[in-house]
Amino acid sequence: MIRLLTVIGARPQIIKAAAISRAVKEHFRGQIEEKILHTGQHYDANMSQVFFDELGIPAPDYNLGVGSGSHGVQTAKMIAGIEEVLISEHFDGIILYGDTNSTLAGAVAASKIHIPVFHIEAGLRSFNMTMPEEVNRIVCDQLSSICFSPTQTGVDNLKREGFIDSQAKFKNGKGRLVINSGDVMYDNSMYFATLAEQKSDILTRLGVKSNDYILTTIHRPNNTDDSERLTNILSSLLSITERDGITLVLPLHPRTRNLLDKNLNAAVYEKLMNSPLVKIIPPASFFEIIVLEKNARIVMTDSGGVQKESFFFERPCVILRPETEWVEIVEHGAGIIANADPKLIVEAYDKLIGIKPVFPPLFGDAHAAEHILQKINEYLS
């Protein structure tokens, strides 16, 4: 029996891990045993526990409870905690997701004691080294035995960094392997879409109708911590809602909530808080966000996950960042990069509202988790 340790910590990783845990249970019983370690990077109930409940993920076997802190302090505590678990229990491999500090910590801890690292959502690049995520994902990819990329773009990025994408060559000796596995987030979105609509009454609670609101999320530090960017984004959104009489639904990440009154221009803050067209809500659960994405007229976000889920549910997306890792969304005209530029934000909104973009199947076959576990099983057997 192969023993794998899955490391999660931040909200999107908990969601991604659900697809792997489900595939272990349904397809690899008796072959793979999975244990879950939660670093505690996200700890509020609506940033963590709610996803375990909704997605049926087993409770973590280990919880490091590291909480928030500077990058160095937070990551260091995680490395120490993960190393201790890896040493005291016998694991054959570690599964890591995405690009957070929890991912980085898992990669450093495991590779130093020669435990194979399997990186899910590998190969993505923003080519912006000021993003902590870019640093985390590059280091994790470099330390991985197998990189599982959700897209062909990710495979191409890693091939340029010396990875090989041929299993035959990999078996013959050296090298690091990259595989286009498809996206575990796509697995989950397809698996839970119908159930989410049955279980969540979020549209009724908010009093919004399908196709009649903008969904926005903002949580990236370069937007929340920079007063000018935050003000530009939110004032542009307010001007669109006022001009078109369209509602704005804004689930707020705790980082954004904590910085809003400090970093947002006072007049814009007042308007945002008092506009009848703006619905500010706490961080959404997975079912809630799926329903909100599926029914939005348009999505405007700085989140990578929300960009992608909008695409899965065939909703156009304005990207509130200077670049994106999900370049195929932009290449296919389903998303436009508007950064935090008021003119570009309004132009992107107007353009996407007026067209019907195409949403080709770019993110796999909704069985990425099974493909990933099959490869890990072969590699470790």
Residues annotated as catalytic (active site), given as ranges: 219
Copy the structure tokens of residue 224. Answer: 């929340």
Q: Please check whether residue 118 is in contact with residue 96, taking contact to mean a CB–CB distance below 8 angstroms.
A: yes
What is the C-alpha to C-alpha distance for residues 215 and 296, in angstroms, rounded to an integer? Answer: 6
Among residues 220 and 297, whose Cβ is nearest to ligand UD1? 220
Strands 117-120 and 93-97: parallel
Among residues 1 and 59, whose Cβ is nearest to ligand UD1? 59
Among residues 41 and 151, whose Cβ is nearest to ligand UD1? 41
Best CA proximity match to 283, nearest among 10, 4, 3: 10
Q: Which residues bind ligand UD1 (CB under 6 A)?
A: 10-12, 41-44, 47, 68, 99-101, 132-133, 219, 253-255, 258
Task: Find the shortest distance in angstroms from Cβ 48 to ligand UD1.
Answer: 6
Task: Find the shortest distance in angstroms from Cβ 294 to ligand UD1.
Answer: 20
What is the C-alpha to C-alpha distance for residues 131 and 205, in angstroms, rounded to an integer? Answer: 36
Task: Find the shortest distance in angstroms from Cβ 289 to ligand UD1.
Answer: 12
Task: Find the shortest distance in angstroms from Cβ 307 to ligand UD1.
Answer: 11
Return the axis-axis angle of helices 342-354 and 227-244, rounded to nearest 10°: 40
Among residues 63 and 374, whose Cβ is nearest to ligand UD1? 63
Q: Could you please report the per-residue DSSP string of 113-182? A: TT--EEEET-S-----TTSHHHHHHHHHHHT-SEEEESSHHHHHHHHHTT-B--HHHHHTS---EEEE--
